[in-house]
Chains A and B, each alone.
Chain A
């Protein structure tokens, strides 16, 4: 049990260390294969852990805990390097290593010929390790460590193209936003230590304050961390900028690691959130607002990766709504299917970008489907899964979230309406992207710049991984089809018993509505971009700049935080630093210079004057002794 879990955690770390330490002694290809094979090895280890869990009873599964050593001992507190392999963490391990290894295998082809390929693969392995640490630990302190390391890895990978100043700015933005979340997370942990004296999951949850300000503050702190990591309002602005990294990095951040960590945290610490239901409602509300806003912004973006990025933000919004609404298993289920189809969309977009030698503007693409039919099929399946058209993956997971919301009273119904409007928006933006990029006659730019090698649409490593993800996106949803079968809900129920369970009628209503809204969105996109039968109404056209400016969040942060900070520091520089600190230092240095010049004049190099000074001194001493005797 324990050794497989340790292998799963240790292999990616070992790969990162080996690639970094070997330097140029390992070939670029070699680094790529080390990274790929170790992540696949971690996946195999995760499967072994999963198989072991299958043979246990549900209550035994909760107690699979191994400690390697006491990592930190401070007074009465002992924090072990402890792994917990219960149902929830095993599910996350499988997603992280499974989807992660496919993405890293894809990078073998995508990053081929790139300078500093080795650094890229070392970072990717480090990223997978950080995420595994985050999902495997049994105490909140180590979870915070993994949390911070995920932020560090994302910083390194978003800023991978160091020569681009925009990439550096995006990396810094992501890091600062995440650091804010880390800080609120840490404050929540301090409060937990004060009130419970425990940071391991079992002890902290059992002794947590069951109400009042303390419970609210703890939940708020955790929510702050989750919101920053998962790019929800109001800490979401880093996610679209994170597209500056290479495409596989975007896929890894959006599908397998990083942004799903917030959802995992909410499900993992659900007892703390359940003691502060207002915070839980706030989390669900933020998720609902984010999914609508991101859907609207995605309608007007022109960068293929940014459209998908906003779609991620929107889908994470669904997971937040589900997890914070009490339907933990449904949120986790959507996390899983989203990992499949979002990785697929990103990697298929990567194939297009790769074939067009780096072009990302969809206005210059067009009709690429004629030349890349298999990529087109993969992208179509990914988009259908994203919108939630049966029988593809998104249908099963998204509808069950909407259904669970319907069972949560008036607030739930409002959120469900948001979610349904979000489904409509998803249909429009997903198929706007699909129609503009793949449909119709090839554009001039595409004809000139599309470079395909032979009949294949990309290197083998890129094609087979996209193929595997296509299959997963097509059939992955059948894992759970409530109300007919729900193994995932049963599997997760001992860890996180849901308090929002939909009745059969609600399931049916939600499914019909969601499919209807999704198809309506696709139909609107078809009318606008293929049949050209309809025009965007002038009112909407006038509102488009609001979405193009991403609802002015960046501008608002600029005015609220950046400008005042600059003004304050400029005022301090002008009125405090220059006259007081720099001024006084200058006076002191001038004084010392003057003094030393005077003292230096005494040493004139004439031995006789020194002798005279000695004699004079002696004479003065003699006179003093003789007169004062």
Chain B
């Protein structure tokens, strides 16, 4: 077993996840929210890989790769939406985009 104990990895993962979640909840710009989502995903990935290494299985790594692929495609969709918004000269503020309400 090399390197630090798994608890360090998990602490970092939780910190990353919390930073991302707070970013999603608190920031208004869709671009920043997208970045925060990526940070949350990376926090989760770190936890997956840490457990995989600890347990000696490759499953966690496979999941992490899949998550990265999904994150990439999510970024494509999200950035596409943001580009479309700026083309229509919409204000880049999620609190203003509330047409879909009951």
Contacts and interface: CB of A to CB of B under 8 A. Distances in A.
Contact of B102 (A601, A607, A608, A611): A601
A594 interface: no
A602 B94 contact: no
Contacts of B101: 603-606
A608 B94 contact: yes
A560 interface: no
B100 A603 contact: yes
B25 interface: yes
Q: SS class of chain A's interface: helix, strand, loop or mixed? A: helix
B75 interface: no
Nearest to B99: A605
Given A599-B102, A600-B102, A602-B102, A607 B94 contact: yes
Interface in A604-622: 604-608, 611-612, 615
A305 B96 CA distance: 81
Contacts of A605: 97-101
Contacts of A599: 102
A611 B24 contact: yes
A608 B100 contact: no
Contact of B25 (A600, A602, A604, A612): A612
B95 A604 contact: no
Given A603-B100, A603-B101, A608 B21 contact: no
B83 to A, nearest CB: 18
Highest count of chain B CB atoms <10 Å: which of A602, A606, A607: A607
B25 A611 contact: yes
Contacts of B25: 608, 611-612, 615
Interface in B85-101: 94-95, 97-101
A603 to B, nearest CB: 4
Contacts of B97: 605, 607
Interface string B14-40: 000000010011100000010000000
Interface residues of A, number: 13
Contacts of B102: 599-604
A309 B102 CA distance: 70
Contacts of B95: 606, 608
Contacts of A600: 102
Nearest to B28: A608
A620 to B, nearest CB: 15
Nearest to B102: A600
Nearest to B100: A605
A5 to B, nearest CB: 73
A353 B90 CA distance: 80
Interface in A575-629: 599-608, 611-612, 615
A599 B102 CA distance: 8
A608 B98 contact: no
Contact of A604 (B21, B94, B98): B98
A605 B93 CA distance: 13
Contacts of A608: 24-26, 94-95
Highest count of chain B CB atoms <10 Å: which of A603, A605, A612: A605
A601 B24 CA distance: 22
Nearest to A596: B102
Highest count of chain B CB atoms <10 Å: which of A599, A600, A606: A606
A596 to B, nearest CB: 8
A191 B94 CA distance: 79
Interface in B55-102: 94-95, 97-102
A604 B102 CA distance: 6
Nearest to A599: B102
A615 B18 CA distance: 11
Contacts of A612: 25
A560 B26 CA distance: 80
Contacts of B21: 611, 615
A597 to B, nearest CB: 8
A574 B98 CA distance: 48
B74 to A, nearest CB: 15
Contacts of B33: 607
A296 to B, nearest CB: 76
A368 B97 CA distance: 89
A519 B21 CA distance: 115
A615 B24 CA distance: 10
A109 to B, nearest CB: 72
B54 to A, nearest CB: 21
19 contacts: A599-B102, A600-B102, A604-B101, A605-B99, A605-B100, A605-B101, A606-B98, A607-B33, A607-B94, A607-B97, A608-B24, A608-B25, A608-B26, A608-B94, A611-B21, A611-B24, A611-B25, A612-B25, A615-B21
Interface of B: 21, 24-26, 33, 94-95, 97-102
Interface of A: 599-608, 611-612, 615
Given A600-B102, A603-B101, 7 more contacts: A602-B102, A604-B101, A605-B99, A606-B95, A607-B97, A608-B26, A608-B94
- The 10 A-B pairs with the shortest beta carbon distances in the complex, nearest first, are A605-B98, A600-B102, A605-B101, A603-B102, A607-B94, A604-B101, A611-B24, A605-B100, A603-B101, A606-B98
